[in-house]
Homo-oligomer: A and B are copies of this chain.
């Protein structure tokens, strides 16, 4: 996996501990955390970090194509370092968000969209329901 430092530099960003921390966290989790969660997770190890910087950092990352923002209907946005448009599941009980990875969808949707006179740039499918864990209880 490419060094975080190198990736930031390639995007023309100054490399700061805060930016490294945010990007590393997003790369190493599949949980799609929101800004608040990112802040609370990183704060113990980076005591000077501020929430405003997390927001500013996420905004830069988003504009430079390092992360994507994901809104599943909660009040706050989640963030994902996987840049490819892809479907998600959202558990209606615990709220967990998971990735799906299915090529089939993409092809089908593009074909369908062609019939609609709408030029698809990105697609997001969200399946709301109960995850395996919450169904068991």
Name A residues whose Cβ lies closer than 8 Å to a Cβ of B: 69, 71-73, 77, 85, 89, 91-92, 98, 100, 102, 104-105, 108-109, 112-113, 116-132, 135
Q: Are A124 and B121 in contact (CB under 8 A)?
A: no
Contact of A102 among B77, B102, B112, B122 (CB under 8 A): B112
Determine if A121 and B92 form an interchain contact, defined as CB atoms under 8 angstroms apart.
yes
**Cα-based distance from A94 to B21 in the complex (angstroms):** 35
A127 / chain B contacts, CB cutoff of 8 Å: 109, 113, 118, 120, 122-123
Instruction: Give the interface centre of A69, A77, A98, A124 by most chain B CB atoms within 10 Å.
Output: A124
Contacting pair B122 A129 (CB below 8 A): yes
> Is the pair B129, A118 in contact by a Cβ cutoff of 8 Å?
yes
Q: A89-B113, A109-B127, A117-B132 are in contact. List 12 more A-B contacts (CB 8 A).
A: A71-B73, A89-B116, A89-B118, A105-B109, A118-B129, A118-B130, A122-B127, A122-B128, A122-B129, A123-B127, A123-B128, A126-B126
8 contacts between A and B (CB under 8 A): A71-B73, A108-B108, A117-B131, A118-B131, A118-B132, A119-B135, A123-B127, A124-B126
Contact of A121 among B69, B102, B104, B129 (CB under 8 A): B129
